[in-house]
Amino acid sequence: MTDMPEEDTETAAGGHPPETENRKPETAALARDIEAVLFISPEPVSLEVLAEVTGAGGEKLAHAVEAVRDKYSDPEGAIAFAEVAGGYTLRSGDAAREAVERFCARPADYTLSSAAMETLAIIAYLQPITRPEVARIRGVGADTVVANLLDKGLVEEAGRHRQSGAVRYRTTPAFEKLFGLSGLAELPALDGFEATAQDVEELREKLFTAAEKRNSGTL
């Protein structure tokens, strides 16, 4: 866009043509600030917030907002200006709708990090299980990983632990799909462990013990 003959509001570079005298460089800088804030904000931004952030107000601010609106008024543009829910925001332009829809319709990424794989394995075999227990077995905090698995719909909440009150987690049908399992009974056997209640307890204990040794040994 460097080749635009009529410099628009957001660039302070270059002198302004005489006919746009109301757009002083000051307004251009203000408009640029507003544009940047609307760009990064995940929510519509109210005039009050814009005033607070830019330190401008009244007519001056209103003019700068209008300058931004003007800049994004092209119906063929990639980005459009919108006034919604008591604030201003930028959104994708109507002309780019198809590309945006194609982009958003791409299947979610189900690639699992090794941390996610470990956490999922722990939850799958020991479910229902609390986050602190997962953390204890892995030797590192489990919050982010579990949150990600929740986001992806691979685990879900399953009540609370009776004593501690901590939320317990279990795997979901989506998890079974991801691993091609027809049910949890199909989880591969671990040497010496059956999926009986007693064996699960034993597995849990073994995992705790191994984690303790690992953590005291290697720091």
Partner 1 sequence: MAGDWHLELPDLDLEIFHGPFDLLLTLILREEISIFEVSLAEIVISYLERLEQKEELDLEAASEFLILMSSLLEIKSAQLLPRPGEFDLEELTPEEAREELVIRLITYKKFKDASNWLRQRFDHTRHWCFRSAPPPRLVRTAGDEEVPHKYEPARLAEALKVLLAEPPRVSTDHMTRVTVSVWERMKAVRDALRTRAELDFDEVAGSADRVTQAITFFAILEMLNAGELEVEQEKLFGQIMIYEARKKINDAA
Please report how close the Cβ of residue 27 comes to partner 1 at its closest, in angstroms: 22
CB of 194 to a second copy, least distance (A): 25
Q: Which amino acid is at 37?
A: V
The C-alpha atoms of residue 155 and residue 174 are separated, in whole angstroms, by 8
Residue 31: Cβ-neighbour burial (10 angstroms; 0-12, 13-18, 19+): buried
CB of 176 to a second copy, least distance (A): 16
Distance CA 219, CA 215 (A): 5
- 137: region left, alpha or beta (phi > 0 left; psi from -120 to 50 alpha): alpha
Which part of the chain contacts partner 1 (CB under 8 A), choosing from 8-16, 17-25, 67-75, 210-218?
Answer: 210-218
Contacted by 150, from partner 1, a second copy, none: CB < 5 to 8 Å by type: a second copy
Instruction: Tell me: does residue 58 bind partner 1 (CB under 8 A).
Output: no
Is residue 194 involved in binding partner 1 (CB under 8 A)? yes
Q: Check binding of 120 to a second copy (CB under 8 A).
A: no
Is 181 a binding residue for a second copy by CB under 8 A? The answer is: no
For partner 1, the closer of residues 1 and 108 by Cβ is 108
What does the block give as tokens for 44? 């519509």
